[in-house]
Amino acid sequence: MERVLIEFDTPQDKESLLSVLSRFNGRVIDVDQANKQRNFIELMYEITAKGGVGESFGDASEWQRETRQDRPLPGRE
């Protein structure tokens, strides 16, 4: 058994293929899963095009200055 993911430009093309699918002992397995996968991939492209997820965290050096607490080094009090 083999699986193929197919994209259609028009709903008419999709209907044409589905009408002859049974001649080839084929069946539709999960249309929603393919749509979810495509939407996820499009979202990842959109995020990377904007510079990735790093921008949502802000400036790393600013965070470090605000959060980090320096401790005295041993022998240098």
Higher pLDDT, 1 or 27: 27
pTM over 0.85, yes/no: no
Higher pLDDT, 15 or 36: 15
Average pLDDT of the segment spanning 24-51: 76
Average pLDDT of the segment spanning 2-27: 83
Model pLDDT for residues 5-17, shown as the tens digit of each residue: 778 889 898 888 8
Higher pLDDT, 12 or 72: 12
- pLDDT for 53: 65
Phi-psi region of 52 (alpha: psi -120 to 50; beta: other; left: phi over 0): left
For the record, the structure tokens of 40 come out as 């996820």
